[in-house]
Amino acid sequence: MKRALPLLLLLAATAQAATSAPAPYRQFDPMEDYLPHVKGDMSLSGSYKHWKDPANLDWRMAGNPEENWKLNWKFMDPPFNASVHGGHFAADRGEEIFHELNRKAGRTGKFATCLGARKGNLKGLRSQYPMYRKDLRHVAGLEEVIEHCAAKEGRELQNGSYDNSAVSVYVASQSTGMPIKINVTSAGPLKSAYERGRKVFHARAGRINLACSSCHTYQIGLHLRGTVVTTPYGDVAHYPVYRTRYQLQSLHLRFIECNLATRTQPLKPGSQAYTDIEVFLTGLTNGYPVSVPSERD
Amino acid sequence: MRISRSFFCFFAFISTAWLATPAFSGDFPSDFAVDPAVVNMTLEPKVVVNSGKLEWVPFSRDLTPWVSLSYEDKRPAARPRQVKLVEPLQGDPVRGRELAIARDKGYCIVCHQLPGEQWAGTVGALLLNFKKHNYPNELVFQQIFDSRVFNPISVMPPYGTFGILNEQEIRDLVAYLQSLD
């Protein structure tokens, strides 16, 4: 009897976990249906027509504060300016680190293979992230995988750190011009992550009770003090991005910035909620070309 | 008129418990960027050039009391709350204006236009000449305390329910708005 007691308690506990623990109350913005393709913006903000073709932007709009948001900052993507900005330094640094790790004695090519490169070729790899990783047993973004694979080569590249993002910029730069392409419509872990991400994107949180969508879906083009919010479509293609204030900002660090600005407790880069939002936003960028190295103010 | 009067009734009361979310009894969610050893537990990342480490520095305020996006965060968020304003208003319009502009108090100008302020937001309604609406005080009080009672998906922060402003501060803001000719 004495030995059975812990087992009984355990059974009772699991039974309770299964039946009780209703989801805590959360407020959600109305769940917009999004098309997991960049052209879906035509039924959200309609600004897509102005930045659809990166080679043919109307530069006059960039200088007009009322029109600027309609370009979705794409005028800061390549080839906006052949001169050197911080994003190019990052790409150089990332290239160095990449080759260092990929040429470890006795392990040549292992780093690239771990990242998912076929026969060491990085071309097109960025377009396929986030992806389901068998070794991690979950969907992961490129930066999480860089940290994971670098650790195998004995180097610490924390998710969100400069060097991690630099490698990410370098890897992405090998896909510049190639459209983002992740499948979030066939049943599987990516689709589930996309659906969860869409939900978190609409979840109100923090001290002033805002969701990502409160601004990025419902206030596009409106002024919040000095800034104007742009569409969530097409954003992921230019990350990690060079910004003077942050040196180099990964997508998850941008989420942290928006969380802090709206007084919401931030999560660590690579957390499941952030990765799900990343999958969601990557779905909304499907079809748009990888645009790295890029710069934002 | 944007505030809908039809929704308004006087069932509720103002309780003295202001804070919205229950605190954590045990550990924080594992994905929180926090350091429980510092006063403002919330951390902010700092990118250090040419380093494989991400540095974390204390953020200017503690954000752990409010619900986050973490899946491990099981605290319920505060539901919309209807309140009754006991008159007389006794608000201080000068103090109200200060609160409307203060970054960590009302900061209404992020979304609303108020007299004498540049770079006003365009998300909320114009609040210039507010007096002309002739709204009853209790309506304006409720809008600031928790606007979700009128509009369930309002983006305006529920200042009272979430404990951002206390009752007197909301009275001061009502007095300020009602003074705008």
Looking at residue A194, which CATH number applies to its domain? Answer: 1.10.760.10
Here the ipTM equals: 0.90
Residue of chain A minimizing CA distance to B63: A265
Nearest to A267 among B50, B66, B68 (CB): B68
Q: Find the mean pLDDT for residues B32-52.
A: 95
CA-to-CA distance for B52 and B55, rounded, in angstroms? 10
What predicted TM-score, i.e. pTM, was given to this entire model?
A: 0.91
Q: Is residue A155 very low, low, confident or very high in pLDDT (cuts 50, 70, 90)?
A: very high
C-alpha R_g of chain A: 21
Task: Provide the domain count of chain A.
Answer: 2
Domain span at residue A44 reads 38-81+179-296
Nearest to B31 among A24, A30, A267 (CB): A267
Residue B15 has pLDDT above 50, yes or no: no
Residue of chain A minimizing CA distance to B74: A24
Instruction: Give the tens place of pLDDT for each residue, B156-167.
Output: 999 999 999 999
A284 and A195 within one domain = yes
A227 part of contact set with chain B, CB < 8 Å: no
CB contact under 8 A, B54 and A160: yes
| CB-CB contact of A242 with A90 (8 Å) | yes
The CATH number for B93-178, chosen from 1.20.1090.10, 1.10.760.10, 1.10.357.10, 1.10.1040.10, is 1.10.760.10
A230 and A162 within one domain = no
Instruction: Give the tens place of pLDDT for each residue, B18-37.
Output: 455 666 766 899 999 999 99
- Shortest distance, CA A56 to any CA of chain B (angstroms): 30
CA A40 to chain centre: 18
Q: Is residue B45 very low, low, confident or very high in pLDDT (cuts 50, 70, 90)?
A: very high
| CB-CB contact of B156 with B78 (8 Å) | no
A284 and A207 within one domain = yes
| CB-CB contact of A163 with B48 (8 Å) | no
| CB-CB contact of B44 with A260 (8 Å) | yes
CA distance readout (Å), B62 to A206, A260, B32, B34 = 11, 10, 12, 9
Residue of chain B minimizing CA distance to A269: B31
Residue of chain A minimizing CA distance to B108: A225
A92 part of contact set with chain B, CB < 8 Å: no
Instruction: Give the tens place of pLDDT for each residue, B92-146.
Output: 999 999 999 998 899 999 999 999 888 778 888 889 999 999 999 999 999 999 9
Instruction: Give the tens place of pLDDT for each residue, A177-213.
Output: 999 999 999 999 999 999 999 999 999 999 999 999 9
B128 part of contact set with chain A, CB < 8 Å: no
Last residue of a domain, one of A115, A145, A173: A173
Last residue of a domain, one of A119, A153, A173: A173
A93 and A225 within one domain = no
Q: Find the mean pLDDT for residues A152-164.
A: 98
Q: At what angle do helices B167-178 and B93-101 cross, to 10 degrees?
A: 100
Q: Residue A142 domain-assigned?
A: yes
Q: Which residue has the higher pLDDT, A79 or A72?
A: A72
Instruction: Give the tens place of pLDDT for each residue, B62-91.
Output: 999 999 999 999 999 999 999 999 999 999
Look at residue B18 in the predicted model and tell me its pLDDT. 46
